[in-house]
Structure 1
Amino acid sequence: MSIAKNVAAAPQFPLPFSHSVRAGDFVYVSGQVGVNPATLEIVGTTIEEQTKQSLRNIEIILEAEGLTLDHVIKSNAYVSHTEDFPGYNQAYSEVFSKPYPTRTTAPVDLGKYLVEIDVVAYAPSKRTEG
């Protein structure tokens, strides 16, 4: 059984998706962009600012599931400009703690957004080094 959830404190876009879906021990979080959840206005003009806000929005959704960013085992990021990859990496490394989740990062046209990130979290435990 899977349970879909929408989180009141997370950005509310008029699009057909759930903020998260729990399937067994895994929580899949839909892609989040760097917007203020209350106003949907883009936060900042840099990849660093938007990456941190995107991850904050993910954190809000995970909190509603009783989880933290430390439960994330996989992330997928879509970055509008390849020249922003270093800034994205910097912000990502400041928000996530080691050991980092596995990840995929790809360039894609996101229109007015600089980054969109989705994650998979594993509910029973947090990431640890092996």
Structure 2
Amino acid sequence: MSVEKHVICHPDLPKPYGAYSTAVQAGGFLFVSGLAGIVPETGQKAGEDFETQARQAFDNLGTCLKCAESSMSDVVRVVVYLTDAQHRDALNSLFGDCFPVDPPARSTPIVELPMGLLLSIEATAICRK
């Protein structure tokens, strides 16, 4: 059985900072690379504080899902990379807003990120396209 892949790119999404795709659809799933709190129009981080960056990152995820004819309710797994464990409470609150019913599986490793970014979100979702 052959599985085709389709790269998702759109001007409303931040441009990747390297040789990778923002998202790839394959075998009924959408695999989303790490999305940070980057404003697509400027390529700059949304702000200095965690909540501003996190909201932009989740907005970017929503846009990416929409471009692939998917949605937040189709997300099955999320990895949220944080630079500081003290942001977990704020993340949990925002996560509850974004996934109010049957939230996806989640891992939250603490890492170092470039450019003063405070989080990065990668996701796997069911793709209905």
TM-score w.r.t. the length of structure 1 is 0.88
Match of 2:8 among 5, 13, 34: 5
Per the alignment, residue 123 of structure 1 pairs with 127
2:62 paired with 1:53:
no
1:76 corresponds to which letter in structure 2? V
Question: Is the Cα–Cα contact under 8 Å of residues 79 and 115 in structure 1 kept in the other structure?
Answer: yes
Moved over 4 A (4+): none
d(CA) in 2 for partners of 1:13 and 1:26? Answer: 20
CA shift digits 1:53-87 (9 cap, x unpaired): 10110111111111111110100010001111111
Written as runs of structure 1 = structure 2, the 5 A alignment for 1:32-47 is 32-47=35-50
Per the alignment, residue 110 of structure 1 pairs with 113
Per the alignment, residue 25 of structure 2 pairs with 22
Question: Is the Cα–Cα contact under 8 Å of residues 59 and 69 in structure 1 kept in the other structure?
Answer: yes
> Percent identical across equivalent pairs?
24
SS at 2:21's partner residue? Answer: coil
Gaps of 5+ in 2: none
Question: Is the Cα–Cα contact under 8 Å of residues 19 and 30 in structure 1 kept in the other structure?
Answer: yes
Deviation at 1:30, TM superposition (A): 0.8
d(CA) in 2 for partners of 1:28 and 1:77? Answer: 14
CA shift digits 1:20-56 (9 cap, x unpaired): 1111110001110001110022113322221111011
85-94 vs 20-29, which moves further: 85-94
2:8 corresponds to which letter in structure 1? K
Deviation at 1:109, TM superposition (A): 0.7
SS at 2:123's partner residue? Answer: strand
Query: What is the alpha-carbon root mean square deviation over aligned residues?
Result: 1.3
| Aligned length in residues | 124
